Structure 1
Amino acid sequence: MSSINETLYATLTINYKTSFNEIGCDYGGLTGKSVEDFGKGKPFITYLNVYQNQIITDYNFDYVEIRDRENQNKVRKGDLLFTLSSETPEEAGYSAVYMGDAKELYLNSFCFGIHIPESEMVYPPYMGYLTSTSYFRRKIIPYAQGSTRFNLHKPSLMSMKFSLPAKENQIKIFNTLQLIAKKISTEQEILSNFTQQRNYLLTKLFI
């Protein structure tokens, strides 16, 4: 998937130079929580969910208690999510787009989100694939600050200029990669079923 994403991006004409400050607004993850607040309550997106995926849907959530009148930022469909902290600068600022339908969803405190409304220039779901390209990764690594633990400097990321293909091409790339991802998922499920069937038949041979 990553190599296909790289190839599709590299073959396109770049039409826009922009920054996250120009196309969206950022917000922070959960604040003021203790260990006792987790394991029950409302769903939130974990650090690992952002780190391991480019597209996040409504699964692999953890839960946190949100009290009445508590002021916490909610994740909306199409939001671009970033990890803030990592053990190496190369792993800082991993990102994913939330494409689920949860009405009340929160974000891990070691992450932040960017709400990007759809416009003539931007197709928000594509941003999860753009920010995983080597082109984009090279640009944000210098903003990872620290010595033993590295933290992404959010203001620098928000103002950093980057290149976007035309919106129609963003949509084409997103749809193409989604079809490939679904195909891979289907093949993996078939393989898993065959493996279970084989193991079952093998146990019957030795009865």
Structure 2
Amino acid sequence: DSLYKRYGDSIRTTFAKLGYSYSGLSGKSAEDFGTGKPFIPYLNVYSNNIVNENDYQYVRINDGEKQNIVQYGDVLFTLSSETPEEVGVGSVYLGIDEVFLNSFCFGFHIENKELAYPPYFSYYVSSTPFRKFIYPFAQGSTRFNLCKADFEKTSIKLPSLENQKHIYAILNRITEKIETEKSLLEHYTTQKQYLLHQMFI
């Protein structure tokens, strides 16, 4: 949030000017799921700022069937939820495999690479300014849905392209450091359990 506050108002644009949106899987029944080609489930989008490529589910896609394929750099959003705070939670796909998207989310493909650096959005969509921006577009009473048309045409502020890359590099290094520390902690915990076991043999 502090990085966005410092660098975040260089560009005023809309999602509609950055690219185009697309829907998730359509026309599927329960029998289609369990085997076939990988798709990104709802919780993968909801729980990760970058899609976890080890957490796919599978769906049967027939030859010639028209379904949207998620591409590198696509921003994925949850489309509906039981609470307005959980609508429009985002994640970015940075993989290269052919993968599909579940029907309770939608994807956004960024075409204008002169204004937007797709990996940056993996942090931007979870920032406080973006969450405040997207909250009003959650509509409903018992279940809330994102009003996608209004969301796409409403103005947003972004850092310059150079600063987007700079912010992403900083936050990505921090993320990598956290993952390294978590891994070390797991190894130390295993070592501790082993040593304690040796003491009480």
Tell me, yes or no, whether TM beats 0.5: yes
Q: Structure 1 residue 164 and structure 2 residue 131: aligned? A: no
Alpha-carbon distance in 2 for matches of 1:20, 1:13? 16
**1:156 offset after TM fit, Å?**
1.1
**1:53 offset after TM fit, Å?**
1.2
Q: Which secondary structure state, in structure 2, belongs to the residue aligned with residue 26 of structure 1? A: strand
Residue of structure 2 aligned with 1:23, choices 18, 21, 33? 18
- Aligned Cα RMSD in Å? 1.1
Alpha-carbon distance in 1 for matches of 2:148, 2:2? 28
List gaps (5 residues or longer) in structure 2.
none
Report the equivalent of 2:49: 54
Q: Which secondary structure state, in structure 1, belongs to the residue aligned with residue 133 of structure 2? A: helix
**1:117 offset after TM fit, Å?**
2.2
Alpha-carbon distance change, 19 to 128 in structure 1, aligned in 2, over 3 angstroms: same
List gaps (5 residues or longer) in structure 1.
1-5
Q: Structure 1 residue 9 and structure 2 residue 32: aligned? A: no
Report the equivalent of 1:176: 170
Give the percent of matched residue pairs that are identical in Structure 1 and Structure 2. Answer: 51
Letter in 2 for 1:47: Y
Residue of structure 1 aligned with 2:101, choices 96, 107, 116? 107
Moved >4 Å (runs of 4+): none
**1:204 offset after TM fit, Å?**
2.1
Report Cα offsets for 1:6-56 as digits up to 9, x if no partner: 111011152211111111100000011112211111111111111111112
Count of matched residue positions in the alignment of Structure 1 and Structure 2: 201
Alpha-carbon distance in 2 for matches of 1:13, 1:19? 14
Report the equivalent of 1:131: 125
Letter in 2 for 1:99: L
Alpha-carbon distance in 1 for matches of 2:62, 2:174? 41
Alpha-carbon distance in 1 for matches of 2:87, 2:8? 28
**1:57 offset after TM fit, Å?**
4.6
Letter in 2 for 1:140: I
